[in-house]
Amino acid sequence: MKVWLIYSLIISTIKPTMISKTLRTIIMGPPGSGKGTISSRIVKDFRLKHLSSGDLLRSQIHNKSKEGLQAKKYIDSGQLVPDNVMVQLILNELQKLKHDSWLLDGFPRTVPQAEALHTKEPADVVINLNVPFEIIMSRLTSRWTHAPSGRIYNTDFNPPKVQGIDDVTGEELIQREDDKPETVKKRLETYQAHTEPVLNYYRNLGILEEFTGKYSNEIWPKVHKFLSTKTEPLQYTVYK
């Protein structure tokens, strides 16, 4: 009886510590996979701070930090920001989150970036959204935009009342260059070529978790269930 009581006391003190430990997470997925949607849900239901590489880059450029000014020179000349500059940008920000759980979005994009990140600020888990390319193609190429307002329609699930016409102004809708089939196909092929080695890197480390599905509402319960084994959720938001 005494042994069981002591065991129970040990478990009661250890379990909360284990489930509430700091969780470092990376989310990956091709454009149009619902990465932004899943990220916002993770942030809402778990104690994770969202860190977007794109937002961070824009912020650093705006604030004229050393790395931000370096990055701006490359961007202004139409070049990719070098790995070492992007790595330092991210590491500087993660240093501020030493005692927080975080969700890193949009980084790393190359194996050298992944290696540098793992050396300094290793992730506990990498989530990959595995959405079939044909679904993404259909989703993105079905988007039409009212350029002056930025209103977006989708011919599959949010069509305008009159085909090709904005509901509010009656003006013509356009298909952005990024949403044209040939552009979407090229973006997906580029993503796959650059990202597959990164996924393999994390797969070999044993921290890659892949979630397959066609839609965010199909994938989300799986992601939530998995993360709930790593850290205690604040809630479970159901989306229909």
pLDDT tens per residue across span 18-68: 455 789 999 999 988 999 999 999 999 998 999 998 888 888 888 888 888
pLDDT for residue 131:
95
- What's the confidence (pLDDT) of residue 19? 55
Which pLDDT tens digit goes with each residue over 101-157?
999 999 999 999 999 999 999 999 999 999 999 999 998 899 999 999 989 999 988
Distance CA 41, CA 17 (A): 24
Q: Which of 90, 83, 82 shows the shortest CA–CA distance to 65?
A: 90
53 is in an annotated binding site: yes
Q: Is 113 annotated for ligand binding?
A: yes
- pLDDT score of 11 more than 70: no
Catalytic residues: 35, 109, 143, 176, 187
Q: CA 164, CA 171: separation in Å to the nearest integer? A: 9
The answer to whether 47 is annotated as binding is: no
Calpha distance 121→114 (Å, rounded): 10
- pTM beyond 0.95: the answer is no
Rounded Cα distance between 208 and 202, Å, is 5
Q: How many Cα atoms occupy the beta-carbon half-sphere of 59 within 13 Å?
A: 10
145 burial (CB, 10 Å; 0-12 / 13-18 / 19+) is middle
